[in-house]
Amino acid sequence: MRGRPGAGDVIPDSRPHVPPDPPGVGLIGAGAIARSAHLPAYARWRIPVVAIASRTPSSGRTLAGQFGIATVHDRVEDLLADPAVAVVDIATGPHGRVDLIAAAVAAGKHVLAQKPLVLEPHEADRLAEVLALAAARGIRVAGNMNARWAPPWRVATLLARAGEIGEVVGVTHLHDKPLPPLAGTPFDDVPHMLVNDYLAHWIDISRCWLEGSRVVSVAAHDSRVPGQPADAENPWQASIHIAVSSGATAAIRVVGDVRTGAGGCPFWIHGTAGTIRGSVLRGSDWVEIERDGERVSIEAEGEWFPDGFAGAMGELLTAVAEDREPENSAAHVLVSARLGMAAAASAANGGTPERPAGLELTRSAVRGGRGR
């Protein structure tokens, strides 16, 4: 990100960071997200993918041919035993994800796992046990919360954590764009899908901006909207409200399948000393900070898709190289997952607030700073 002339020191370096000579990555999954985001991001940022395994071997071979991946394994077990693979990228659906993470940790591989890490409280408890084992063995496990590296959101994170707008008072998100195709897809089979899955990135980035507090309450409501087709199982409207112990709040709003050829996903972070505002997706990327009577625009480099995926993997690879926990450690991301499960429980109960006990929004170390 580069500020316009006169922006002073408000120039956060928000780009993905990949260490020199990164180790080999093995990809599990050959679906649309691997094809459209994971592999293009890794190619752009020179992250070596050395092997792939898919439950449909022919899809794995096709993807390997398209992206120059040397080895295709017919079984996940063979990929986990491959000595050329040091890091496993799990790009599958949520069901069975904890089993795959556990298997990779048992094989001594570092792991990046797609979101949502878990969908049920018992899965969260089991994942916590797997993460304890990984930590004891010096294995790094990260969650693929790639939106943390969506350029405007990344700038906002770095500015907020640097105290540029004082203490955060409130976070607001509006989904001002069409929904992706949902009816007839596996996503439509997930109960309260918008709250339980689609909005996981919005929940996660909001908790990043509210860090240092404890969750007091989570309320969510979803409903069908006018014009929604009968074969769409899930509601197309969702609203989430999060309150934390500092008194700050976060609000996330999806009004439905918005009819616009423009739009985006505008956001605001209001603080005691200023405001950060911007938008992500659909070519709408922009971000600015307003403080002391001055508004400063910060020019965005890159896009959420695919650069955010390079950011998530690059942070894990850098953490492995530096022998530290990644910013997107699975333990840190698991708190976001528990927050999402509380929101889903509230939606299932018609919007009755949930009051999760002991849900602390701890801070994570953030690579990068105010200037470069």
Give 12's pLDDT tier (boundaries 50, 70, 90). confident
With respect to residue 366, please indicate whether it lies within any of the assigned structural domains. Answer: no
Alpha helix ranges (H) inside the chain? 32-33, 39-44, 57-67, 76-80, 97-106, 121-136, 151-161, 193, 200-209, 309-322, 330-348
Q: Which of 128, 146, 164 is the last residue of a domain?
A: 146
Give yes or no: residues 138 and 189 share one domain.
Answer: no
CATH code (residue 233):
3.30.360.10
* 155 has a pLDDT exceeding 60: yes
Distance CA 68, CA 86 (A): 18
* 27 has a pLDDT exceeding 50: yes
> Which of 72, 19, 20 lies closest to 50 in space, CA to CA?
72
Per-residue confidence (pLDDT) for residue 363, from 0 to 100: 81
Give yes or no: residues 291 and 160 share one domain.
Answer: yes
With respect to residue 49, please indicate whether it lies within any of the assigned structural domains. Answer: yes
Give yes or no: residues 245 and 294 share one domain.
Answer: yes
**Could you read off the pLDDT of 89-103 as tens digits, one per residue?**
999 988 899 999 999
Q: How many CA atoms lie within 13 A of 37 on its CB side?
A: 23
**Could you read off the pLDDT of 260-272 as tens digits, one per residue?**
988 999 999 999 9
Give yes or no: residues 217 and 118 share one domain.
Answer: no
Count: domains in the chain: 2
Give 364's pLDDT tier (boundaries 50, 70, 90). confident
The 3-state DSSP class for residue 10 equals coil
**Could you read off the pLDDT of 212-243 as tens digits, one per residue?**
999 999 999 999 999 999 999 999 999 999 99
Give yes or no: residues 164 and 140 share one domain.
Answer: no
Is-above-0.85 flag for pTM?
A: yes
With respect to residue 69, please indicate whether it lies within any of the assigned structural domains. Answer: yes
Mean of the per-residue pLDDT values of the chain: 93
Mean pLDDT of 293-312: 94
Give yes or no: residues 290 and 240 share one domain.
Answer: yes
Give 5's pLDDT tier (boundaries 50, 70, 90). very low
With respect to residue 19, please indicate whether it lies within any of the assigned structural domains. Answer: no
E runs forming strands in the chain: 2-3, 25-28, 49-53, 71-73, 87-90, 110-113, 141-143, 168-175, 213-223, 237-244, 249-254, 265-271, 274-280, 286-291, 294-299, 360-361
With respect to residue 6, please indicate whether it lies within any of the assigned structural domains. Answer: no
Per-residue confidence (pLDDT) for residue 3, from 0 to 100: 45
CB 222 within 8 A of CB 359: no
Give yes or no: residues 115 and 204 share one domain.
Answer: no
| Domain enclosing residue 36, as ranges | 25-146
Per-residue confidence (pLDDT) for residue 366, from 0 to 100: 57
Give yes or no: residues 100 and 237 share one domain.
Answer: no
Give yes or no: residues 294 and 171 share one domain.
Answer: yes
Per-residue confidence (pLDDT) for residue 9, from 0 to 100: 57
Give 198's pLDDT tier (boundaries 50, 70, 90). very high
